[in-house]
Amino acid sequence: MNAFTVDVEDWYQTNDFNFPVSRWEQFEDRVEESTLTLLGLLSRYRVRATFFILGAVAQKHPSLIRRIAAEGHEIACHGGYHRLLTEMNAGQFREEIREAKGRIEDAAGVEVRFFRAPSWTIGPANYDMLQILEEEGFAVDSSIQPFRTPLSGVAGAPVKPFYPIIAGKTLRILEFPSTVLRIGGMPLPFSGGLYLRAMPYFVIRWALRQVGRTRAGMVYVHPWEVDQGQPRLRASPLIRFAHYYHLDRTIGKLDRLLQDFRFAPLGEVIRDQSYEAVELI
């Protein structure tokens, strides 16, 4: 059984463009329609997923959040304004997640206990954020990417879910890292975002099957990745590649994954499993 997860944010809220929140109002809002596309796909396969929702989206589209919950999906938090955790201090982070959690819970009518950081920004510089998440009522975090990119990630971090030990203390919050396949010590990312869009489907299927021999995998996708009608902005070639490459392939690959694998919300994937504690340094 694998986890299917969706990070609910609009196309202009990603860190690809880094627009300040004060400019968000000027952009065309498309998250409702693109999230409905994903909900439709999941319902065709009768698969329930975990939706990590941005607090700003919950504030603007409460009826969308209610609908996600009503369709049986697990409701989770993706921060407030898609700010990188590495650019926030502990006080700012606590304030932002408290507000976001409240907004999402108000909209959905259910308690929110799962968190994912924008752009996988929990790492050695801010492992104390995990402690804050626990204090703020979160039971599961899915924010550590076990390989390094220019923006985030931790080379050599555990690939299996684990309870973090920080400064000698074992936390009760479970960390479910992004899914990668390690081949001879080298990480092969394939399970979401640009990696999923860029890689041939047969490689994705092979990698997820390899992962499935020892642990549950996790797929992640964003609503804007199924939105081919979104405005095309001028940006650096690298940003344009990361954001726009193969947007036309996302739905087809998800469709095949849903045919070839079994999926459930994260909470069901981890239920009744036991996990080790691992020291983070």
Applying CB under 5 A, the residues found at the interface with Zn ion are 7, 9, 118
Contact call for residues 112 and 75 (beta carbons, < 8 A): yes
Residue spans of alpha helices (H) in the chain: 31-44, 55-60, 62-70, 90-108, 128-135, 193-198, 201-212, 237-244, 250-260, 266-270
Q: Smallest gap, in angstroms, from Cβ of residue 192 to Zn ion?
A: 11
Calculate the CA dihedral of residues 241, 243, 245, 251 and round it to 10 degrees. Answer: 170
Q: Smallest gap, in angstroms, from Cβ of residue 78 to Zn ion?
A: 6
Q: How far is CA 196 from CA 20, 188, 201, 207, 218, in A?
A: 28, 11, 8, 11, 12
Q: Smallest gap, in angstroms, from Cβ of residue 187 to Zn ion?
A: 20
Calculate the CA dihedral of residues 15, 21, 26, 28 and round it to 10 degrees. Answer: 50
Of 171 and 220, CB closest to Zn ion: 220
Compute how many other C-beta atoms are within 10 angstroms of the C-beta atom of residue 141.
24
Q: Smallest gap, in angstroms, from Cβ of residue 101 to Zn ion?
A: 16
Of 7 and 74, CB closest to Zn ion: 7
Amino acid at 280: L
Separation of alpha carbons 175 and 159, rounded Å: 10
Of 7 and 175, CB closest to Zn ion: 7
Compute how many other C-beta atoms are within 10 angstroms of the C-beta atom of residue 33.
13
Tokens matching residue 144: 């550590």
Contact call for residues 263 and 219 (beta carbons, < 8 A): yes
Of 9 and 10, CB closest to Zn ion: 9
Q: Smallest gap, in angstroms, from Cβ of residue 116 to Zn ion?
A: 7
Q: Smallest gap, in angstroms, from Cβ of residue 218 to Zn ion?
A: 15
Contact call for residues 270 and 50 (beta carbons, < 8 A): no
